[in-house]
Structure formats: structure tokens, C-alpha cells
Amino acid sequence: MKHLLRPWLLATPLLSLTFVACGPNAKTGAAKPDLLQANLDTTVRPGDDFYNYANGAWFKQHPIPASESNWGIGKEVQNEICGRLRKLNNDAAKATAAAGSTEQKIGDFWATGMDSTAINKQGVAPLQNELTRIRNITTVTGVQAAIARLQKLGVNALLGLNVSQDPKNSDKIVLQLWQSGLGLPNRDYYFNKDARTANIRQEYQNHLTKMFGLLGQDAATAAANTARVLALETKLAGASRKLEALRDPYANYNKMSLAGLDQLTPDLNWKPWLAEMGLAKADTVIVGQPEFYQEAGRLLRTASLADWQAYLQWQLVHTYASTLSQDFDQENFRFYGTVLQGAKEQRPRWKRVLDAEENAMGEVLGQQFVKEYFTPQTKKRYEELTANIVASFREHIQALDWMGDSTKQKALVKLAKITRKVGYPDKWKDYSSLEIKRDSYAANMMRAAEWRYRYEARKLGQPVDRTEWGMTPQTYNAYYNPSNNEIVLPAAIFAVPGLLDADADDAIIYGYAGASTIGHELTHGFDDEGSQFDDKGNLRSWWTKADRQAFDERVKGIVRQFNDYRVLDSLHINGKATAGENIADLGGIVIGLDAYKKTDEYKKGEKIGGLTPTQRYFLGYALGWQVHQREERLAQALLTDVHSPAQYRINGPFADVPAFYEAFGVKPGDKLYRPDSARVKIW
């Protein structure tokens, strides 16, 4: 099943980057300048813009490459591991490996992905059988059958399927339906009136027409099919909820029987349809947004077969465009890479193939990654760091003046039960049934999508596997999963490019990893959404009414604070949509700082690189958001991302932390200064 992770399931440090490294550069023997000191732009006052003060010199030395829409520390880490994985793949492609072996799968996948001559020669041929099925549709039942088939291929046509834990019964795996099926990033792109978004809509129309033309349609047919897709998607968008509305776990929990689902969508018989999708074991379903599925059902009854054929053709070619010949690939990049995100040129093919391989069989690569680049000593350091951050959070909960004893005790129980997954899984996914050949790059991706779909679908009716990871070890990211009450911290998230782990002082480690990652993810268990799940991972009210009201008042404060940040043109941060991440950033900072204060390094009080321990801690945190991006990507993120832009993940929460004012002498009149009465304090 495609991993449509509900917004409250994944809480990340900015970006989901594939292929990143924990391996350091070799020492040269020469003394290196202090990492934090070297990044400073001292022409910027820290009390005015700490983001650029902390990272400005690095930004000047590392402009965004033409092939990227953003650049930062995660991409630097990514580059280190990309080189290693490239060699691993090249060696595997040259080897004579046993059929079905890991080496054979890696080698054959790489060979087909890198053979641009064969890919260009094949054109759209790898999709031809699926396109023929769509063209041969003659009934509404045929439309449903085609949607069922495309779901297995990873195509988000109309349905957003997810097999995962029941939010109110975390011991049971259930089928969930979520709004989906749009070609633009979300509903707002279909309706917002600002010039930037209106231009994107026009470019999207041009893109659709070009893609239909590449499928061999004449100009009139391509234009007609473009109009059909736009009309259908606009109706689906109109029934879709806004970003902030998707963050309410109760409002997006609507459990019903299959008979109830049939009543929700008259004339649709779900039982045989789900059986076609390999989901016959589903007896109940949780519908995230019932109004979306009411509209989807209505459109299946009323839209013409020609409308559905155009839509399904588009969804298929859109999903696989990057695996097809150069004309499809370049047009796909022109719209989704340049128009939407501002990239000037494509990344090298070998990096794009590595990205695809991560999606196809990431844990195969993960096993190789941790074997070579994440030592037992490193794992132990970060397990101990995690324990120290948990201990600090425990003290913060105990010291709260706005939370009563009853809720505190339950919060402490929940904190103690949070599972800590550090580095890599104890049990790896079994890819033995995944077939990879040297016939076609697109075919390999389709087979991988089918394997992943079957892997997820088989979970229905099975016990919950709480050992499973939702990210690979080489992913520069982390998450809190409320249904498992767990934090998952992949090995790569602890990497600092060019810095040996042993050479990183505690201030860097506690700021960079302890605050912005570990503390951040722990706090998600107690943010405006995570706090609604109990210690067993169930969506259940466990707070007293008075404590919940006191908490909500503090959340309103952080929403107001971030709503006031105007970032680009007339675009503001959506304080409500980003509340959970902003709460987690602030929580991680104060929890991490108190944990750092217990270290010998802090107690000694010695300067490193001319910086005090506390200054280094805040700079270490800012290192984690050392990323700048193009305006196009920033504009997209403001409409689609539940994370604030990197600049405000530093400047925003720091403006609420008294220790920051003390460390850098922030005074009234400085741009970041907020009076005591306006500062948000939650954890």
C-alpha cells in the first residue's frame, strides 16, 4: 500500500532526503577551523536574524546548485553517501550474481536505470499494456477495475489507500481512505487567486497538454483531454480539506462498516472493488474525509467514460514519467522541478536512479549502509543521548506549573513508554519475492510498486509488527508515530558533513541531534495532536478538562506568533497548520538545553572557537536548519508543508527562549525581541 502517512504520523526535521551518510571525511591531520565559527556571518546581528547570523557564511560559500531547488546540510550529507552507493551499484552491475540475490537485484536495477539509450528507444512502450486497458474501458465497472489495477502500481488515481493501525485501537491493522488523486500539490492550487498560483495553474494546463501530446494524441484530442482532467481534478479538489483541517485526528477519524461505506457512496459496491485491490480482508474502514469520497462516488456515476480515461492515462504517465524516455522525463521535470520548485536543471541521472532505488528497495541498501558507516560506538553514543533527552523531558513535565498532578502522572507514563529506535532496525524487510530484471527501468519500478502494495495489503488481519521501521537508516529524517508511541531516529540524521563524530563537541551534538531531532520528536508525543494519543498509542482523551484548556491557550499563542510571519510576497506561515512542528521545535530546544547543562563540557564553561557553551548549543541547533531554498519551493512549502520554513524554525522558537536572550545579549529594539508577556512557554 502506498504510504499515505497521516499528517500526525510523521514529524520531520524539514526534509525527507534519501541517501545520506553517517560516514565522516578522513582526517587530514591539519587543524580545521571551528565548524560553528566558520559558518557565522558577523555582519548580521544575532538578535535580528539568528538564522543568517549562524549560517550566513556557509550560504555564501554554498549557493544553490542549478539542479536543486534547495541546498543545505542534508544535501551535503546526501552527497557523501551518494558516492559510496554509486560504487556499490556499479560493482553489482558488473558482477555475475546469482539470480534473486541482493547483488543481482541491485545490479540489474542500476543497469536499467542508467541505460538511457535503451530507455529512449523504448519510449512509452513499458506503459503500453496499461494504457491499452484504460482505452478499452466501456463501463463504470471498468473504470473501477482500472483504478484497482493502478493502485497496485503505485498510481494515486482517485483513492488514497492506507493499511495501518487503527488510531483508536493501535493493536489492530485497518484499511483507511484518505483524500488523494490530484496532480497539483493540494487543493489550494486549484482555487487560490494570487498571481503566483494562477501562473502555476496555467503552466499545469500546458503541462497536461504536452504530456498527452507525447502519448501520441493530436492537438485537438490533447486539449480536450486536458480540459477533462482539469475539470475532474478541480471537483475533487473542491471536496478536499485544507492542510490545517487534516491535522485534527478526531475530525479525520470516521470508522464505518463496508455497508456504511456503500451508503456513503451510493451505487458503489465496495466489497468486490476492494477484493480486486487485494483487500478482501477489510471488514471496516476508516474514512478520513467522507465528503471527498461522496464526491468521488458521485463523479464515478456522472463523469463520462472519456473523462475517466483521460484522467487515468494522465495519472499513469505522471507517476512513471521519470522512468520513461527523455521527452517525458524532461517535460515532467520542467513542470514539477522548475515551475513548482525553481530548479534550473535536472540532477545527474545516477543520483536520480539512486533516489528511485531507495523507493524501490531502500532497506536492501540500508543493510549495506549501516554495516560500513554506523559503528556500534556511534549507535551507543546516540542511544545514551536519547536517554539523556528523555530524562530532561521528564524533569520538564514534573516542573510544569500549568498542568495538574493527574495529567502529569499520565504524561510521565506515556513518556516512559515511548519506544526509542536508534540507527537501524533489528529486523530487516524480506525482499526475496521482489523480482528485478534487466528488461526495463519502468518495469522494474512497476514491479517494485506491486511488491510494496502486496507487502502492505498482507498486514490486514495480521498482528501489528511494532518492530517495523517507516524509514531507512540512510534517510536524513526522523519521526514520531503516535500509534506505536515511538520515536524513530535513522542513522543518517546524526551525521554532520565532514566532521568525525568523535570530534563533535557536546554542544553541537546536543543542539544538532538532541534538540532539533530527539527532543523535537519526543515533544511530538505531547504536541497539539500527539497529546491526544495515550501511552498505548490510542486516540483517547486522557487529560483533565482544565489542563487541556491551559494547554490549548498556549498553543493559541504559538499559532498567533507564526501567523504573523510574512515570508514571501503576500504569503504568511499558516500558524495552525504548522503548530505541531513549531511546538516540537520549541520543546526540543528547551529540553535539549537542560540536558546539555548536565554535561561536563557545559559545567567547565570553557569557550571553543571563541564561543561559550550556551552559544555553541544554540548554534548547534541552527546547524540543523542550515538550508536555503528558491522562492518557488518556498511558495509551495507555505501551501503544502506542516513545517515552517527553515529560517523560522530558528528565529521563531529562539525568540521565546530566555536563555537565547542571555547568550547573545538580545535587547528591546532587536528584531527577534519579544517581551516576556508575549513569549510562548509550553514544555
pLDDT at 122 over 80: yes
How much is the average pLDDT of 329-334?
98
Report the alpha-carbon distance of residue 56 to residue 627 in Å, rounded. Answer: 10
Mean pLDDT of 62-83: 92
Tell me the mean pLDDT in the region 443-462: 97
Q: Which among 278, 288, 8 is positioned nearest to 176, based on CA atoms?
A: 288
Mean predicted confidence (pLDDT) in 13-31: 32
pLDDT at 604: 97
| Domain C-terminal end among 320, 355, 388 | 320
**pLDDT grade for 446, boundaries at 50, 70 and 90:** very high
| 397: pLDDT strictly greater than 50 | yes
Q: Please give the average per-residue pLDDT across 275-281, as a whole number.
A: 97
284 strand-pairing partners: 257
Q: How confident is the model at residue 5 (pLDDT cuts 50, 70, 90)?
A: very low
Q: Could you tell me if 584 and 523 are in contact, meaning their C-beta atoms sit under 8 angstroms apart? A: yes
- Which sign does the torsion angle of CA 186, 188, 191, 197 carry? negative
Amino acid identity of residue 459, one-letter, is: K
How many domains are there within the chain? 2
Residue pair 221/213 in contact (Cβ under 8 Å)? The answer is no
> Which CATH number goes with the domain that contains 515?
3.40.390.10
Q: Are 309 and 399 found together in one domain? A: no
Same domain, 516 and 623: yes
Quote the CA–CA distance of 2 and 449 in Å, as a whole number. Answer: 8
pLDDT for the residue 80: 86
55 with 162, same domain: the answer is no
Q: How many CB atoms lie within 10 A of CB 244?
A: 16
Backbone dihedral angles phi then psi of residue 136, each to the nearest 5 degrees = -90, 5
For the residues of 13-67, what is the DSSP string, one character each?
Answer: SS--BSS---PPPPP-SSPPPPHHHHH--TTS-TTT-HHHHHHHHHHHHSPPPTT
Residue 420: φ, ψ to 5°: -110, 110
- Given 253, 286, 320, which residue is the final one in a domain? 320
Q: Are residues 179 and 52 in the same domain?
A: no
Distance in angstroms (rounded) separating the CA atoms of residues 97 and 106: 10
Residue 373: what pLDDT? 79
Give the angle subtended at the CA of 455 by the CAs of 424 and 642, to the nearest 5°: 60
Residue 488: pLDDT band with limits 50, 70, 90: very high
Q: Is residue 551 part of a domain?
A: yes
Residue 17 within a domain: no
What pLDDT, on the 0 to 100 scale, is given for residue 569? 87
Mean of the per-residue pLDDT values of the chain: 93
d(CA 460, CA 161): 12
Instruction: Let me know: does 293 contact 159? Beta carbons within 8 Å.
Output: no
Which one, of 649, 659, 588, lies nearest residue 622 by Cα? 649
What mean pLDDT do residues 254-259 have? 97
What is the full DSSP assignment across 568-610?
A: ETTEE--TTTTHHHHHHHHHHHHHHHHHHTTSHHHHHT--BTT
What's the pLDDT score for residue 19?
25
User: Do 632 and 497 belong to one domain?
Assistant: yes
Please indicate, yes or no, whether residues 281 and 397 belong to a single structural domain of this protein.
no
Q: What does the DSSP assignment read for 325-342?
A: -HHHHHHHHIIIIIITT-
**CB-count exposure of residue 62 (10 Å: 0-12, 13-18, 19+):** middle
Does 62 reside within a domain?
yes
Considering Cα of 125, then 128, then 130, then 131, what sign does the dihedral take? positive
Assess whether pLDDT exceeds 70 at residue 307: yes
- Largest Cα–Cα distance in the chain? 77
596 and 664 share a domain? yes
C-alpha 678/C-alpha 651 separation (Å) is: 15
Element holding 660 (H helix, E strand): helix 658-664
Please indicate, yes or no, if residue 632 is contained in any of the structural domains.
yes
What's residue 31's pLDDT?
Answer: 54
The continuous run of DSSP H or E covering 627 comes out as strand 627-629
Q: What is the CATH number of the domain that holds 220?
A: 1.10.1380.10
pLDDT over threshold 80, residue 18: no
For the ranges 6-20, 180-194, 228-242, 438-452, the lowest mean pLDDT is seen at 6-20
In tens, the pLDDT along 567-592 reads: 998 899 999 999 999 999 999 999 99
Backbone torsions φ then ψ of 241, nearest 5 degrees: -85, 155
Say if residues 162 and 178 touch (Cβ distance below 8 Å).
yes
Q: What is the DSSP letter of 244?
A: G
- Residue ending a domain, among 255, 289, 320, is 320
Whether 75 maps to a domain, the answer reads no
Using alpha carbons, list the distances in angstroms from residue 90 to 114, 117, 324, 519.
Answer: 10, 17, 21, 39
Q: Both 159 and 224 in a single domain?
A: yes
User: What does each C-alpha distance from 379 to 148, 429, 442, 501 come to in angstroms?
Assistant: 43, 21, 37, 11
User: What's the confidence (pLDDT) of residue 21?
Assistant: 29
Of 168, 179, 131, 489, which is closest to residue 316 (Cα–Cα)?
131
Q: Which of 145, 454, 107, 155 is nearest to 323 (CA)?
A: 155
Looking at the structure, tell me whether residues 302 and 228 fall in a common domain. Answer: yes
Kindly indicate the confidence band of residue 408, based on its pLDDT and cuts at 50, 70 and 90.
Answer: very high
The segment with the largest mean pLDDT, out of 77-91, 490-504, 526-540, is 526-540
For residue 285, give its domain range: 125-320
Contacts of 682 (CB under 8 A, 6+ apart): 551, 554, 555, 558, 583, 586, 587
Reported as a single tens digit per residue, the pLDDT across 76-110 is 988 888 888 899 899 999 999 999 999 999 999 99
Question: Are 392 and 289 part of one and the same domain?
Answer: no
Q: What pLDDT does residue 570 have?
A: 86
Residue 584 lies in a domain: yes
pLDDT band, very low/low/confident/very high, at 16 (cuts 50, 70, 90) = very low
Average pLDDT value for residue range 445-459: 98
The C-alpha atoms of residue 382 and residue 366 are separated, in whole angstroms, by: 18
Query: Model confidence at 396, in pLDDT bands (50, 70, 90)?
Result: very high
Query: What are the pLDDT digits (tens) for 615-659?
Result: 999 999 999 999 999 999 999 999 999 999 999 999 999 999 999
Flag whether 40 is in a domain: no
Residue 179 lies inside a defined structural domain of this protein:
yes
pLDDT band, very low/low/confident/very high, at 20 (cuts 50, 70, 90) = very low
The pLDDT score that the predictor gives to residue 404 is 97
Residue 280 and residue 405 in one domain: no
Q: What is the dihedral of CA 614, 615, 621, 622, to 10 degrees?
A: 170
- Residue 423 has a CB neighbour count (10 Å cut-off) of 23
Do 309 and 381 fall within a single domain? no
Residue 13: the pLDDT is: 32
